[in-house]
Chains A and B, each alone.
Chain A
Amino acid sequence: MGPVELLHMSVFSQSFSPCGRFLAAGNNYGEIALFSLSAALSPDATALSQKPVLTFTAHEGPVFSLLSTNCHLLSAGNGEISAWSWNELIKKNVKPMWTKRPNYKSSLEIPEINAMIINPRDNSLVVGGGDNNIHILDLEHGVFKAVLQGHSDYVHCVSVREREGEILSGGEDGAVRMWDSRTGQSVHCIEVYKYENCARPQYGKWISCVTTDSDWMLCGGGPHLSLWHLRSLSPTSIFPLKGCQRQAVFHQDMIMSVGEGPFVSHCLLGGDIKAQIPCTPQSLNTLQFNSNSTEHRVLTVGGSSDHIDVFTNLSYRAFSLSF
């Protein structure tokens, strides 16, 4: 990888290993890099320990989504999902356990996969991507068992409400759809851009991030990042963040969000911006909190750079991992 390639690298996805000691990150060249957090966080860490312990090409297109199950790392490339064993990866054996493609109708262009999430209720994988549909992969049997159709443009993000058995998805068409995971029917559809206080016509109407926490939903993209009460299906607070948000998470009593702009935004549930913590990449794609291990409890963010910023303390950037 030459310096020019590094200059134009973007990190799209991250996932921590089940043990919490490793971080996998996927970039726009289809590579997945494994970083050792224990080495990078140790007191005698050198510049070398901020480099990946393993880099391998997983897919042809960019790796837009990475996900860890109890023992597997799932990666999504151009229209395909691969599973890698964490144990083997740590031993630096690079061989996918399996690779599966959802059944796509169009053949001119292979649709990308933008988001994946595990539905623990029936141990299935919810996959949203470029063909406007949501595919459900039964992880028990390894077959795609359902297709949720309804979006009129490609799906940006998916989320699961475990207790209610609902799947949420946000798409380029500006709608957040709620699906009944058992029947596969669309239950609700919120068109966020139609709400005047959320809409930002200068940007567009797409929804690029959706997260849920019990009765609450966080969504944003072209429209403002907004907190929704799902039972009443109404926006409760709107966060006045500049730029489009790409990922947002609930963290304790706070909301952390990343998107365009070189910073992580800390927001209060009431709608105020508490802080904006600067980081290296000019725009951010992904934000992950490592809750798998207490000793490596860090926040990592990646974006339009070959650097992945690591926050040991939420209020400032500690160091950067780099490809």
Chain B
Amino acid sequence: MSSDALKKRKSKVLRSEGGTPEMKRGRGEGDQQDVRVYSEEVELDSRDPEQDYLQYKESCESLATLMSEIQELKASGAKEGSAEVEQRRMQSCIHFMNLKKLNRLAHMRLKRGRDQTHEAKQRVDVLHLQLQNLLYEVMHLQKEISKCLEFKSKHEEIDLVSEEEFYQEAPQNISRPHLTKSDPHQLTLAQLDWELEQRKRLAEKYKESQATKEKIQKSIEEKKEHLTSLQPGLNAIMQASLPVQQYLSMPFEQTQKQTEVARHLPPPLYVLFVQANAYGQACDKNLGVSISGDVDEAKALSKPPEDSQDDESDSDAEEEQEKTKRRRPTTGGQLDDKRREMLKRHPLSLCLDLKCKDGSVLHLFFYYLMNLNIMTVKTKVSTSSDLSTAISAGDLLKSETLLSCLYTSDHGRETPNPANRYQFDKVGIVSFGDYLEELGHPYKWVQSLGGLHFPNDTSESVRVGSSLSASIMESTMKLLRGRVQSRLALQKQFASLEHSMIPVSSECQHLFPAKIISRLARWNTIAYEEYMHLPYTRHVTEAGLAKETDLYFMAVVERGTARLQAALVLSPRYPEISPLFSLSLIWKGERSGRTDDNLRAMESEVNVFKNELQGPRPGHQLLTNQISRLCVCLDVYLETEGQDDGVEGPREFPREKMCLRTVRGPNRLKPFKYNHPQGFFSHR
């Protein structure tokens, strides 16, 4: 085969060499040659490659046989160029020619096939491209469709009027019912049209309103300007009127200043300030309100919002506790500082001056403890006339006792804010009571006046009315005034009681007989403990009628050898709650109200039938009248005590009182009741 291939190439070269001279030779015969070339190509079409292949095989075989015959002939010794060999060479040349042609044809066919394939491929490519284009187009269209489907119209967000309303209100030319009734699209369009119409109208209106508003604003501006222009004039007038004000003592300027300062008051004090001012103006001309304290400090305090301070102190306190575990000595001072900080009060305080008719003034100083959020009050009473100071009256006008129990069981010793207990725990304050002297008393009514309200853990103490400051202002002021007057009256009475004189006013003369022989010998205060230890007061303490907050006194009434001791409980709410007497008589042995029925009757005469002794309202003479009656009762007791007439000779106490009967009833009571106009004594 390799030899074949080599031969083919050789033949090709040969052929081309042979071809070129041919073309050179017959230039005029070019067309003819072309036709021939074309004819070969045409021939190619007409020939069957299958047959060509068979022909090729045949010619190869015959060439092979011819070669082998030549070889045999040569082998047999035939001469070069012998006829037989020559013939055979000729034949084989023809075969070579044939092979050459076949080769050419094959090449041509290959080329042609290649061309055809290329052509087809190109066509396919074009088609493919077309397909791609189409697919892309489809996709695009699909996207468009979906976009369309997803499209949201703005009108859906517009709040349209309902259909019925639309038909009712819209004019025919917009609503077009014949069209829109059937077509929802048209309906929506119509509705939108109507909406647009309406909105346009409203916009118009808005514009109009805006214009009027502007106009009004302008006029306001003008008026304002006018008013501000008045200010300097007014100031000048004010300045000019100052001397007149001073001359007429009208405190306009002062109140103005005060309200200016009041702006810096903490809220509870401000509430109280406003309420007290209002009450003073409306109902009570004798109520003075003033603010004292450092305004600048208050200003500084009110400026920064101090919410961080609290947390700080909290964490500090915790640290503090940890520290205390480790180092004792240094923390004492810090804890003291903490305490001081906690008990700090607002730099401003409020002072109410309550003038009474007799010229005495009750000064109430209200403080606000910022960190405890409670209000406290301190009091001071200034009297017009210098009272002769009674020793036993020392406690009466003291700050601690003066306002105690203004309302039932309001002792003002413990803080009313339940949260304070935890704050105290943190800094180691055992009881608020230790600081009362310094800080004042946190009575519940004070909190109410300041609008502070704390839930009560004891539900039994029902508050008077609601907790609004205004609602209790009037009653509190009345109570305060009543309290001061009663205390002043008591002080006066005590002064004369200490001089063994029982003042009895003319209105109360009829309660007692003209002649009272028993005399008050002593009047002094006693301590609570002392009272508790008296044997004849046990029933009172057992009944819970003697409280630590009450005041305790001892009165001694004497007649001859008889000596009547009366221990008495004076409630801070006197005269609303009357004093309670317990008696003990030392005469021929000692007897007390607990064992002797007659002494018990004397006790009830002063304790139970106190209403007769009240005197003119509001009953400030109750105490002295009670003591007077006690003297009268002692007279009766002693004068009716004779058992055996005539046995003992002269009686120590001759019967001077007129009695219907000396004893009565199973427990043989003496007649202690005095009947005024007739002047005799009878039984209850």
Which residues does A use to contact B, with CB under 8 Å? 3-8, 10, 12, 61-62, 64, 108-109, 112, 114, 130, 154, 156, 172, 201-206, 208, 246, 260, 282-283, 285, 304
Residues B661 and A109 in contact, CB atoms below 8 Å apart? yes
Query: Of all chain B residues, which has the CB nearest A5?
Result: B608
Shortest beta-carbon distance from B668 to chain A in Å: 7
Q: Which B residues are in CB contact (< 8 Å) with A246?
A: 666-667
Residues A283 and B595 in contact, CB atoms below 8 Å apart? yes
Residues B543 and A64 in contact, CB atoms below 8 Å apart? no
With beta carbons under 8 angstroms apart, the residue of A3, A62, A109 that contacts B543 is A3
Residues A62 and B594 in contact, CB atoms below 8 Å apart? no
Residues A172 and B663 in contact, CB atoms below 8 Å apart? yes
Q: Tell yes or no: B323 within 8 A of A by CB.
A: no
Residues A206 and B668 in contact, CB atoms below 8 Å apart? yes
Most chain B CB inside 10 Å of its own CB: which residue of A130, A156, A282: A282
Contacts A130-B661, A172-B663 known; list 5 others, CB within 8 Å: A7-B607, A8-B600, A64-B665, A114-B665, A282-B595
A246 to B661, CA, bound (A): 20
Shortest beta-carbon distance from B606 to chain A in Å: 10
Pick the 4 closest A-B CB pairs, nearest first. Answer: A8-B604, A204-B643, A282-B594, A109-B660
A41 to B25, CA, bound (A): 166
A302 to B663, CA, bound (A): 21
A4 to B644, CA, bound (A): 35
A304-B643 contact given A64-B665, A114-B666, A154-B664, CB 8 Å threshold: no
Q: Tell yes or no: B462 within 8 A of A by CB.
A: no
Q: Tell yes or no: B597 within 8 A of A by CB.
A: yes
Residues B660 and A108 in contact, CB atoms below 8 Å apart? yes
Shortest beta-carbon distance from A122 to chain B in Å: 26
Q: Tell yes or no: B265 within 8 A of A by CB.
A: no
A206 to B665, CA, bound (A): 12
Residues B595 and A260 in contact, CB atoms below 8 Å apart? yes
Residues A156 and B666 in contact, CB atoms below 8 Å apart? yes
Query: Of all chain B residues, which has the CB nearest A13?
Result: B666
Residues B597 and A304 in contact, CB atoms below 8 Å apart? yes
A304 to B600, CA, bound (A): 9
A283-B661 contact given A4-B608, A8-B604, A12-B666, CB 8 Å threshold: no
With beta carbons under 8 angstroms apart, the residue of B545, B643, B644, B647 that contacts A7 is B545
Residues B667 and A10 in contact, CB atoms below 8 Å apart? yes
Q: Which B residues are in CB contact (< 8 Å) with A10?
A: 597, 600, 667
Shortest beta-carbon distance from A278 to chain B in Å: 14
A185 to B332, CA, bound (A): 94
Shortest beta-carbon distance from A151 to chain B in Å: 14
With beta carbons under 8 angstroms apart, the residue of B578, B603, B647, B666 that contacts A201 is B647
Shortest beta-carbon distance from A275 to chain B in Å: 21
Shortest beta-carbon distance from B569 to chain A in Å: 10
Q: Which A residues are in CB contact (< 8 Å) with B607?
A: 4, 7-8
Residues A208 and B600 in contact, CB atoms below 8 Å apart? no
Q: Mark B531-575, 1 if CB is under 8 A from A, else 0.
A: 000000001100111000000000000000000000000000000
Query: Of all chain A residues, which has the CB nearest B604?
Result: A8
A201 to B545, CA, bound (A): 38
Q: Which B residues are in CB contact (< 8 Å) with A202?
A: 643
Shortest beta-carbon distance from B93 to chain A in Å: 153
A113 to B383, CA, bound (A): 56
A204 to B641, CA, bound (A): 10
Most chain B CB inside 10 Å of its own CB: which residue of A108, A112, A202, A304: A304
Residues B665 and A7 in contact, CB atoms below 8 Å apart? no
Query: Of all chain B residues, which has the CB nearest A62?
Result: B665
A201-B580 contact given A109-B660, A112-B665, A260-B595, CB 8 Å threshold: no
Q: Which B residues are in CB contact (< 8 Å) with A172?
A: 663, 668
